[in-house]
Structures are given as C-alpha cells and as structure tokens.
Structure 1
Amino acid sequence: MSNKALRRLDASMNDLNGSIPDELCGLSLESLNLYENQLEGTLPESLVKSLNLYELRLFQNRLIGELPKELGMNSPLESFDVSKNQFSGNIPANLCTKGSLQELYLISNLSTGQIPESLGHCLSLIMVGMMGNQLSGEIPPAFWGLPHVYQKIPDEIGLLENLVEFSGSDNHLTGPLPASLMNLTRLTMLNLANNELSGKIPAEIRSFPMLSYLDLSRNIFSGNIPPELQNLKLNGFNLSNN
C-alpha cells in the first residue's frame, strides 16, 4: 500500500511497543487509532501537519511529554482521546481551532495549568473528560454555556480513591450518580446541589464512613431516602427540593 493510499490506520488493542514513528504522523492521515497498546515516548510534532486528521485515539498507552501546542490548528479534529497516559504540560489551546471537535478526553494524565479559554467557545463539543490530572485555576465560564455538552459525572470518578472533597454544585450536571462514586471511601464532603441529577439516591452511600457533609438539594432525585443514611455521622445534610 502506498503512502498516498493510507488514510486510516487502526492498530488498537494489540501489544505494540516502542514509540510512534515520526514518519507515520507525517502521512495525510484522517484517522489514527493506536489505543490499548504499550506505546512509549512522546507524540511526534509532525502530527500537527496532518491536514485531514479528524480522529485521534491513543488512550491507555505509556506516552509521555507535552502534547504539541499546535495540535488541532491545521486538523479538523472531531474525536480526541489520549486518556490513561502520562502526558504533561498544558492542554493545547488549538484543539478546536477548526470548530469541529466533539469528543475531548484527557482523563488520568499529568496535565497542568488551566483549561484553555478557547474550549469554552467550542460550540461543537458534546463529550468532555479531564479528571485525574493536575489542572488548576477556574473552568472558563463560557464552558458551562456550551449548547451540546453532555455534562454527567463520569464513571472514572471512582479512580480518584484518595479524593477527600468533591464539590460540583451550581452546574448543569445530569443523569444518575455513578456506582463508581462509592469507591471514594475517604470522602468527607459531597456537594452536588443545584444540578439536574436524577434517579434514586443509592443505598451504597453508606460506603462513605468519613462523610460529614452531604448536599444533594435542588436536583430531581426521586424515590425513598435510604435508611442507611442514618448510619453516617453527618454535620451537614440537605436533600431539599427534589
């Protein structure tokens, strides 16, 4: 197969190791899927020259270093997933330059700095996951006004087993509480007030032996209040307006 014919490459879920070849990223790729392998090293800078790249999925490898700053500047990215690697540095501000980005996943990396203000103006975004990093600062206010973003608490929240406080109040979170939330046995404060969370309050909430403050008010939870809550030593408790 000639280089000109190569547009889509899927070598995911294998035992590939070593680094991603710079020559590979220099091709006119549209889709590159190398997820669930054992790839190491950094992401080649030449990838920013892929003018037709709309899909890049590299999750669950051992990739390191900073993501190229110009990533997305020349590419009509729609799906971008580099979760469960060791990428560090800032999130590239150009990921949605072409205005086509729909899925953005950076879960469980070593990213630092603030969420780029530019992502708050990415009207095409539908799915976003950035938890399990070392991000700082505020979420861009415009981010919460994106028309299509599906804002639920991801199942990956359960990976943060050392989390002590979780405050996600006054947002637009939807859907039920994920079962993986119960893995956070060191949680002392859970505040999800004033969202659009639904379903039943799980009886497994007793899994929070250290919980002292619980606020699930102003949501649309239904059903009974779990009797298991009486086993918690709560100093603050609010389930009003459900």
Structure 2
Amino acid sequence: MTALLRFDAAMNHLEGTIPYELCSLPLESLKLYENRLVGTVPASIALSPKLYEVKLFNNRLTGELPKDLGKSSKLVSLDASQNNFSGEIPANLCAMGAVEQLLLIHNSLYGKIPESLGQCRSLCRVRLSNNKLAGEVPAAFWGLPHVSLLKMPFSGSMSKTISGASNLSLLLISDNQFTGNIPEEIGSLGNLVEFSGGYNLLSESLPATLVKLSELSTLDLHNNKLSGELPSGIQSMKK
C-alpha cells in the first residue's frame, strides 16, 4: 500500500512487533497506542519526509527510539510514554522546528536533555518524568515561549530564562535534585496555575514576585531547604 499516509490501529489487542514494512511507507501519522506490542521501533520510520505524528504510548516496546526521528520531517507530536524504551532522547527530534508535544514518561531513557531541544521554540507540552534521565536542564529550555505543561526530572538550578515561558500553566518538577533559589523571574508567568516543586534542594527565601501570580491555585514546595518569611502580600493571592 505505497500510497498509505495514515495508519491507526490504536486501542486493540495487537501483539508482536511493529513491521519494518509498515514503517518503510511514506506515512504522515502512525498510531499504535494502547496495544501489547513488543520489540523495537524500526529505524525506517525516521525516513518518511511527511511524518508529523507518532503515538506509541502504553505498549511494551523496548530499545532505543530511532536516532534520526524528526531529522527529515516536520515532526509535531511524539508520545512514546509507558513503554520500556532505553537510550537517549534523539537529538534531531526538533531539527525542523515543529515539535509541539514531547511525551516520554514512564520509560528507561537516560542521559541529558539534548541542547537542541532548548532551541525548539514550538514546544507546548513536555513530559519526561519517570525515566533515568539526569544532568542539568539547558537554560534555554526553561524559557520556551509556548510551553503550557513542563513536567521533567533532572538537577541543577532554575534558570532566569523562565521569564520567557509566558504560556506556562503547569510547572511540575517534584522529586528531583534542583538546587539554588527560585528566581524572581517566576513572577512573569501570568498564566501559571500550579507550581509543584516538592522534594528538591531549593534554598533561600521565596521570591517576592510570587504574589504577582494571580492565577496560581497550587503552590507545593514541601521538603526543600527554603528559609525566611512568606512574601509580603501573599494574602492577596485569591486562587
């Protein structure tokens, strides 16, 4: 079926591996989520110049994600969550500058966030937690302008570049090794609804600019090394 563009066999009881022949087609979209598939993802999927969507979550897939995924196509959405993928996050995912959703939670991925993803200004939703990822978050990654959900592991400090994340509504960084202070620039996030950063090593006092977050409904910073007083005016935060 050499003219096949979209293959959707999601939410079934399919078993076995993903055929190499399927991934060799010039696909635009591949949806195989919520099945019982095993084995690796054929590297040939990365060769399609039309590919914009890959959804493989909730299977039993293993091995590395294709290293060239996103290198030859304007990949918009990748959801490979809830599998057993290992290896590093492919560095070329956003080579075409189009990725909006990057969802990789509950795998065994390791290494750092590729520096190239810090320049992926199209990103809107990022979920990388429950992996074996480590290292510092690239400074540019904190300030991605269109991100609304940022849930990730890692260590290091929160960068002042977070002031550029004007669309961020959910900042979920609990259970990590983040250190240093919470930057005053967090007060620029006018759309922030939840900031969960418990069980880290954050220190010093809470920034006075927190009180500017008029949409904030959840502030969870338990089990850190914070000190000092609550910011003046915190009683004005109505939500």
Change (3 A) 1:169 1:76: closer
Deviation at 1:5, TM superposition (A): 2.9
Deviation at 1:74, TM superposition (A): 1.2
In structure 2, what is the equivalent of residue 175 of structure 1? Answer: 169
Q: What is the aligned-residue identity percentage?
A: 47
Q: TM-score if structure 2 supplies the norm length? A: 0.72
Partner of residue 68 from structure 1, selected from 50, 66, 91: 66
In structure 2, what is the equivalent of residue 29 of structure 1? Answer: 27
Deviates more, 1:138-147 or 1:8-17: 138-147
Deviation at 1:144, TM superposition (A): 2.3
Change (3 A) 1:62 1:235: same
Q: Extract unaligned runs of 5+ from structure 1.
A: 203-207, 224-231
**Aligned partners of 2:15, 2:102: CA distance in 1, in Å?**
24
In structure 2, what is the equivalent of residue 227 of structure 1? Answer: none
Q: Report if the CA contact (8 A) 1:193-1:215 is conserved.
A: no
Deviation at 1:239, TM superposition (A): 3.1
Q: Report if the CA contact (8 A) 1:201-1:222 is conserved.
A: no
Deviates more, 1:70-79 or 1:139-148: 139-148
Q: TM-score if structure 1 supplies the norm length? A: 0.71
Partner of residue 119 from structure 1, selected from 117, 120, 134: 117
Q: Report if the CA contact (8 A) 1:200-1:221 is conserved.
A: no
Larger Rg: 1
Change (3 A) 1:37 1:115: same
- 2:85 equivalent to 1:91: no
Q: Extract unaligned runs of 5+ from structure 2.
A: 216-222, 235-239
In structure 2, what is the equivalent of residue 240 of structure 1? Answer: 231
In structure 2, what is the equivalent of residue 46 of structure 1? Answer: 44
Change (3 A) 1:73 1:132: same
**Aligned partners of 1:221, 1:100: CA distance in 2, in Å?**
30
Q: Report if the CA contact (8 A) 1:13-1:36 is conserved.
A: yes
SS at match of 2:2: helix
In structure 2, what is the equivalent of residue 79 of structure 1? Answer: 77
Deviation at 1:86, TM superposition (A): 1.1
Q: How does 1:139-218 map to 2 (within 5 A)?
A: 139-150=137-148, 152=149, 154=151, 171=162, 174-175=168-169, 194=184, 195=186, 196=189, 217=207, 218=209
**Aligned partners of 1:200, 1:124: CA distance in 2, in Å?**
22
2:11 is aligned with what amino acid?
M
**Aligned partners of 2:195, 2:24: CA distance in 1, in Å?**
51
1:95 is aligned with what amino acid?
L
In structure 2, what is the equivalent of residue 20 of structure 1? Answer: 18
**Aligned partners of 2:194, 2:72: CA distance in 1, in Å?**
45
- 2:117 equivalent to 1:109: no
Change (3 A) 1:240 1:31: same
Deviation at 1:169, TM superposition (A): 8.1
**Aligned partners of 1:50, 1:123: CA distance in 2, in Å?**
23
Q: Report if the CA contact (8 A) 2:24-2:45 is conserved.
A: yes
2:121 is aligned with what amino acid?
L
2:144 is aligned with what amino acid?
L
1:175 is aligned with what amino acid?
S
In structure 1, what is the equivalent of residue 219 of structure 2? Answer: none
Deviation at 1:145, TM superposition (A): 3.0
- 2:8 equivalent to 1:10: yes
1:126 is aligned with what amino acid?
C
Question: What is the CA RMSD across the aligned residues, in angstroms?
Answer: 4.0
Change (3 A) 1:17 1:221: same
State the aligned residue count. 216
Deviation at 1:192, TM superposition (A): 6.0
**Aligned partners of 1:56, 1:137: CA distance in 2, in Å?**
27
Q: Report if the CA contact (8 A) 1:84-1:107 is conserved.
A: yes
SS at match of 2:130: coil
